[in-house]
Structure 1
C-alpha cells in the first residue's frame, strides 16, 4: 500500500483528516515514525508530548508533529486518538496522568513490545481495562533511537498486532485496525498472553543473546582480536545489540515469565548442541543445521511475499507448440517424481544410510523431504540430484514442533499419512489451495484400517490430525485407486503388527515393489494378493530411472511426428512403469527397448521413431492399467487411422474419468469426432485443427494437449500451464535439445 492509497482509502471512509486529533506520548523512533506517517499522509492533526524537551522541540522543527502538548485536561479531552509510545515501565505513570481527563470515546492504544504488563498497568490504574484502551504492537523498528530517526514508511508491509480484550469497544477496535492499515501495515489480532510468548521467542530472545554475546566477548582475554577479526556474520548477528538499552531492560523486566520460558527452551537445545560437539556427533549437528536453514529459508520466503505484496496479480502462463516439430536426439531424464517421493520416504524409515542418485528434487518432492527433516531426519544434498539420507528406523521420527504443511501436494500427503499413523506422537497435517477441498476418504480410510485415529474439521478433507492408537493388522482391498494410494497401502503394511495383506492390481504396486526390494523388503504378489515380510528396511544405494510421465509423453510425441528419432537412455518400462510401451507397439508405433533390464528397476534405452498408428479397442482391464496415461492414449487415438474404443472409463476413480472428459472437449474443439456414453469412449482419427485450449492446471492434461498440437493444422496454445512448468522444470531445456518447438507465453 503506498502513501497516497492509504490516505485516500481511509479518507474516503471517514472524511478529511479521518483520525482527527492524535496525541503521541513519547517521541522516540517508534512514536516519531507513527506521527510522521500520519502527518505526511494528511490523516490527522498531530500533537506530541515528551518529558524530554529537546525531543519535543526537534519534533516540531522537523515537522514530525504539528504542535507540542502537555498531558492537561484541555489537551486530553480534545483528543480522538492517544498513542502511548513510552517505555513499557512508564505506562502506569502516564495512564495515571491522563485518567482524570480521558473520554470514553477516545481511542487509547500503545506500541509497546509486551502486552501483559501494559494490561496489568491499566487494571492497576483504572481498576479494570477501559473498553477504549486496546493495546497494539507494530512489528517494526531499527537500532536508532530518538525523533530524528523517525521514518514515515517504517510500518509499510510490516505486521501490526492488535491485542483486544473481550470487552474492548468494537467500534474503536475497528478504528484501530483502520489506523494501522492506513500506515501500510498488515493488521492481525492476537490475545495478550500468546503475543508475549511469540514475541519472547521471535524478538526478545534474539536481543538478549546479542547483548550477552557482545558483553561476554568484550570481557574476554582475547577481546581486541575478537573484534578486530570479526567478519560479517558477527556484525549481522550482533547488530541488534545497538538498540536502546533502557527500552530492552524494561522489556525483559515486564515480560519475565515468557522470556524465561523461551530462554529455558533455548538453553536446553544449546546443551544438546554442546553434547553433539563434545561427542563428535556430526549427524546430530547436521540435522539441527539443515532444519534451521530450511526454517529460516521459509521465513525469508514469507517475508519476501509480504514485502512484495500479495495482492499483485500473477499472470497465468501459457505454452504454444508449433506443428513443425520433429523429436530428435538422445536424452537422459531426471528421476521419476513418484519414485523420488517413495525413495526418500523409505530411506528416512530405514536403519542406516542411503545414497539416492538421479532423484528429482524439484517441485513437491521437497515438501516430502522437508517434512522428514522437521521430524529429525538428517538429509544431505550431495548435488542437484543426489541425497545422503541418515535413516532413523520405522518408529524413530520425532514429533514436529508445528503442523506439517503439505501445501498443495497430494503426493506428499499420501507418503506421510501412513507413516505418521505408525508413530507414537500426535501430529496435524495442513494444506493449501485446492488440496483443502479435495476429499481424501480412501487415504483416510486406509489410515483408519491401520488403527489410526483420524480427526478432520470437514468430512475427510484437510486439515487432519492423527493421534497415537493401537496398531491393527492391515488387511486392505484396493482393486481401483491411484498408484499413490497403492504406495500408501504398502507403507501402511510396514506398520502392521502381524503380516498383513493387500488385494490390488499388479500395475498399482509394481514400482513400489521394486523399490522396496532395494531396501531389503520382500513384496510378493500372488493372484492379486500382495504380502510384505516383516523385515526392517535397511539403507540402500539407488539410481532412479527417468520420469515415467515424461517418458510416456516423449515416446508418443516421437511416434506421432515424421522425421523423429528419439532415444531415452534411462527409461523405466515394463510392468514397473505401466503397460504403456506395449500399448504403443500394439497400435503400430516404432518402439524398441535395448539393454539389460533383468535386475532392479526394469530400465533401459528406449528408442522411438515415427510410424503411422492404427485404431485400437481397449478393455476395461487394459484401461485401468493405462489410467495414468489415458490422456496420451486419447491423443494417440486422435491421430490413429480408423476408430478407437476405450471402455470402462466410468469404473475408474472420478479424477481419471474427469481428465479424459476434459481432453474429449479439447479433441472436439479441434475437430476430432468423439462419442462418450455409459463409460465407453469412441474416437475417430483425423487431423486436429489447432487453436487455443485450457488444461485447467492439470500437469498430465497439459502434456497431452502439447502432444495434440504437434501435427495440428495451425499453432496450438495451451493455457494455465503453471503446474506443468513446476512439475517438469526441465521442459524448456528438454524441448530445445530434442527439437520440440514450444514456448512459454503470458
Structure 2
C-alpha cells in the first residue's frame, strides 16, 4: 500500500475538491507518487478512487500520517488550523507539509498557533489556477500547466523540502515563483480577491434592483464575462475575505477612491479624464494578455516571408508616402511631454514607432488614432507621466531606446527597460555615458547591454562634447535629456544638427541654436499641430526606382528639401538624377511636390565623411550604383559601426550572387556598373537590406526573389499597396 520508490513517494491530499483532485490526478497519471485522499465527505473519496484520481482513501490517523512523504492541505483556509491540530502528533520532521490556499498570512498564523511556531517542514504554496466548478469530478490533470504556482517559504524553511516543493509544482506543469507571505497576500487581494468581491456585489446589487428581470434578460456577453466568477463557491470566498481582511480592505479603499474619481468625471462630463483611465486600463490589460499568451503559447515563431519582383519597365503615378519614421518617434514624445493637446498628421504608426507609442501609453499618455496616420496626443507635461505597471519593452527598436531613455531618466519613478532578440546583445555605451554624465541614475547589464534600470535622479544640463561618434539619435537624446535639467544645455558634435529635427523641436517650444556647437533653449513645452514630411527611406527608394526604370514619371507629395533629405537629393542630382520641385514650400518642414523621371545615373564617389553622413541610406545608394555608368566607390565603409558594415557585406554578397560585381579594397566598397541576371537574394532579416534588394531586383534581367522580408513588411505594412500604386510588379510569398 505504502510505496517510497516513486519520485515523490506517498502523497496525501487533504480535501479532495477540484484543486486537490487535479493535483492528485496529475501526479497519479504520471506515476510520480502513490496518492492518498482524505475528506470528510465520504462520497468524494469513493468518487476519487472510482474515477482514478487517487489510489487509496485515508484517515487522518497515526498510521497514515507517519507514512506520508508529502501532505497537501487543500481544505478551505479557515479549516487548516483544525486539520493541523488533528495531525500534529503524527507528523515526521522529514514530511513536507504544504497547502494550496489563496491567503498565506492566515495559514502561517494557523500553523504558528498549532505548533507554537510554523515548523521548518511547513512551506505554504498557492497555485494561480482554478475554475468555478467544484468537487472531485471537476479534477483536471492539466489544470496547472502553463500557470504560475507561488511558493512562500519562511526564513527558517528546510531548504531540501523547499527544493522538493519546487520540483513538485513543476511536475504538474506549473511555473514556480517565490514570494514572501505579506507580498503574496497584497498581490492576490488586488488580482484575485477584489475582482471576486466586485462580481459578487454587482450581481447582488442588480438582482435586488427594481428592473432586475429586464437587467438579466437583456444582459449581454460583457455582463456574463465580468460576473463569471460570481459562480464560485461562496463558502470558500467568505473564508478568503475573512482570512485576508487587511490586504483586501487596503485594495478596496484604493479602488473606492478611483471609482469616486470616475464618478466625478462623469458628473463634470470630463471626457479627457475618462478617456485617460480607459486608455491606461486597456494598455494594462493588453500587457496582461501578452504575458498570458507568452506563458501559454511561448514565443511565437516568426513566419518567413519573401517578395518576388518581376522586371518592370516603368513606374508612374502621384503618391503621398507615410510620414518620416524618425520624426514620428520624436513627434509623439514631444507631444506627450507638452502641455495641451497636439494634433499630428501623417505619422508613421507602424513598426518601431508602435514601440515608442506603447511606452508612452504605458506611462499614462492618452493617444487617440484617427486612421491615415492622424493622432491626437493629450500632453501631460514633463512631470505628468506615471510609473508603468511593468518593465518597458523596446523590443528591437534602438531608436525607441535612444529617445525614451532621457525621458525615463528625468522621471520621479523607477523604470526597468527590456528588449528582444539581438538588441539584448547590443552595447549602448555612448548613450549610457551621455545619461550618466548628466547625472542620470541608470544601471545596465553586462558590457553596457540591456536590461536597463532607471532610478529617480536630478538631471544636470548637458555640456561638453557628445560621447563617441556623432549620430542624429544621440543628438536628439541630448536635447530630450536637457528638457529635464535646470538651465540650458550646450554641447558639441562632429555632425550638424538635422534641420528637420530642429524644426520639429521648435514646433513644441524648444529652440536649438548652432550646428556642430549646439545650445538648447527650452521654454514651456506647448502642444503643436503639425504634419510630418514623407519618410526619407521610402522617399529615397521611390526616387531611385523612378530614376532606374526607363519610362518612369513619378510625383511624390510632402517631400522636404531640408536637412539630410535635401542633402541626399542634391547628391542624386549631382549624379544625374532628374528631379523637379513644384509649388511653394508648405508647413513647418517646407514640404513640396517632387517630380522624378528616368535618368542615366553616373557613378557615385562618396568620401569617408559622406559615407558616414549617409550611412543609413548606403544600402539603397549602393544598389543604385549597380546600374550607374562606370565604377562607384564608397570610402571607409569598413570604419562604420559594425551593424552598418554588416548590412553592406550582405548587400555585396547578394550583388555578386545574381551576376553583379561588388568588391572591397582596403575598407572601400567598389561597385562596377552592370545589369545582373537575377536570382535569389537573402536579406538576412534586415529591413533596410531587403528594401535595397527590391531596388536591385526591379531592373535585373530576369527579376529576383528577396528572402526573409518579414521585418521589412512589419516596418512598411503597406509596401504591396505602394508597389501596386507605382506599377512595380511584386508579390509577397509565404
When normalised by structure 1's length, the TM-score is 0.90
* Partner residue of 2:588 out of 600, 607, 628: 600
Shift of 1:457: 4.1
SS of equivalent residue, structure 2 residue 581: strand
> Contact 1:377 / 1:397 at 8 angstroms: preserved in 2?
yes
Figure out how many residues of one structure are paired with residues of the other and give that number: 731
Counterpart check, 1:139 vs 2:128:
yes
Work out the CA distance in 2 between the residues paired with 1:187 and 1:466. Answer: 28
SS of equivalent residue, structure 1 residue 484: helix
* Partner residue of 2:440 out of 446, 452, 474: 452
> Contact 1:578 / 1:625 at 8 angstroms: preserved in 2?
no
* Partner residue of 2:453 out of 465, 470, 475: 465
Counterpart check, 1:285 vs 2:284:
no
Counterpart check, 1:153 vs 2:137:
no
Distance change >3 Å, CA 194–CA 317, structure 1 → 2? farther
1:506-550 alpha-carbon deviations (Å, 9 max, x no partner): 764222112123334433335x33334332232211222222111
1:314-363 alpha-carbon deviations (Å, 9 max, x no partner): 45444443445743433222222211111111111222211112212222
Work out the CA distance in 2 between the residues paired with 1:171 and 1:321. Answer: 63
> Contact 1:493 / 1:532 at 8 angstroms: preserved in 2?
yes
Equivalent residue number for residue 676 of structure 1: 664
1:363-400 alpha-carbon deviations (Å, 9 max, x no partner): 23232223223333222223352211122223333344
1:614-646 alpha-carbon deviations (Å, 9 max, x no partner): 212122332233221011121122222211121
* Partner residue of 2:243 out of 244, 247, 254: 254
Map 1:284-683; keep pairs closer than 5 Å.
284-307=273-296, 309-310=297-298, 313-323=301-311, 326-383=314-371, 385-478=373-466, 480-504=469-493, 508-525=497-514, 528-575=516-563, 577-597=565-585, 599-649=587-637, 652-683=640-671
Work out the CA distance in 2 between the residues paired with 1:614 and 1:148. Answer: 80
Work out the CA distance in 2 between the residues paired with 1:44 and 1:451. Answer: 58
Equivalent residue number for residue 87 of structure 1: 76
Equivalent residue number for residue 9 of structure 1: none
SS of equivalent residue, structure 2 residue 714: helix
Work out the CA distance in 2 between the residues paired with 1:99 and 1:722. Answer: 62
Moved more, 717-726 or 216-225: 216-225
SS of equivalent residue, structure 1 residue 109: strand
Distance change >3 Å, CA 305–CA 460, structure 1 → 2? closer
* Partner residue of 1:122 out of 111, 114, 122: 111
Shift of 1:653: 4.1
Shift of 1:694: 3.6
* Partner residue of 1:232 out of 221, 241, 252: 221
Distance change >3 Å, CA 360–CA 15, structure 1 → 2? farther
Work out the CA distance in 1 between the residues paired with 2:657 and 2:7. Answer: 56
Work out the CA distance in 1 between the residues paired with 2:375 and 2:498. Answer: 24
Work out the CA distance in 2 between the residues paired with 1:572 and 1:270. Answer: 49
Equivalent residue number for residue 51 of structure 1: 40
Moved more, 670-679 or 269-278: 670-679
Distance change >3 Å, CA 361–CA 448, structure 1 → 2? same
> Contact 1:393 / 1:537 at 8 angstroms: preserved in 2?
yes
> Contact 2:685 / 2:708 at 8 angstroms: preserved in 1?
yes
Work out the CA distance in 2 between the residues paired with 1:426 and 1:185. Answer: 30
Work out the CA distance in 2 between the residues paired with 1:40 and 1:498. Answer: 69
> Contact 1:486 / 1:509 at 8 angstroms: preserved in 2?
no
> Contact 1:578 / 1:626 at 8 angstroms: preserved in 2?
no
> Contact 1:37 / 1:153 at 8 angstroms: preserved in 2?
yes
> Contact 1:553 / 1:707 at 8 angstroms: preserved in 2?
yes
Shift of 1:573: 3.9
SS of equivalent residue, structure 1 residue 729: coil
Work out the CA distance in 1 between the residues paired with 2:375 and 2:632. Answer: 44
Moved more, 137-146 or 572-581: 572-581
1:480-503 alpha-carbon deviations (Å, 9 max, x no partner): 433222222232343453333343
SS of equivalent residue, structure 2 residue 465: strand
Distance change >3 Å, CA 250–CA 54, structure 1 → 2? same
Equivalent residue number for residue 65 of structure 2: 76
Root-mean-square deviation (CA, aligned residues, Å) is: 3.0
Moved more, 621-630 or 127-136: 127-136
Equivalent residue number for residue 209 of structure 1: 198
Work out the CA distance in 1 between the residues paired with 2:659 and 2:160. Answer: 61
Work out the CA distance in 2 between the residues paired with 1:731 and 1:704. Answer: 13
Shift of 1:153: 3.0
Structure 2 alignment gaps of length 5 or more: none
Distance change >3 Å, CA 111–CA 578, structure 1 → 2? farther
Distance change >3 Å, CA 742–CA 197, structure 1 → 2? farther
Distance change >3 Å, CA 117–CA 619, structure 1 → 2? same
> Contact 2:307 / 2:707 at 8 angstroms: preserved in 1?
yes
Distance change >3 Å, CA 498–CA 62, structure 1 → 2? closer
1:596-617 alpha-carbon deviations (Å, 9 max, x no partner): 2254213233333333322121
Distance change >3 Å, CA 387–CA 583, structure 1 → 2? same
Distance change >3 Å, CA 687–CA 190, structure 1 → 2? farther
Moved more, 420-429 or 195-204: 420-429
Structure 1 alignment gaps of length 5 or more: 1-13
Work out the CA distance in 1 between the residues paired with 2:464 and 2:686. Answer: 30
> Contact 1:514 / 1:576 at 8 angstroms: preserved in 2?
no
Distance change >3 Å, CA 300–CA 402, structure 1 → 2? closer
> Contact 2:196 / 2:229 at 8 angstroms: preserved in 1?
yes
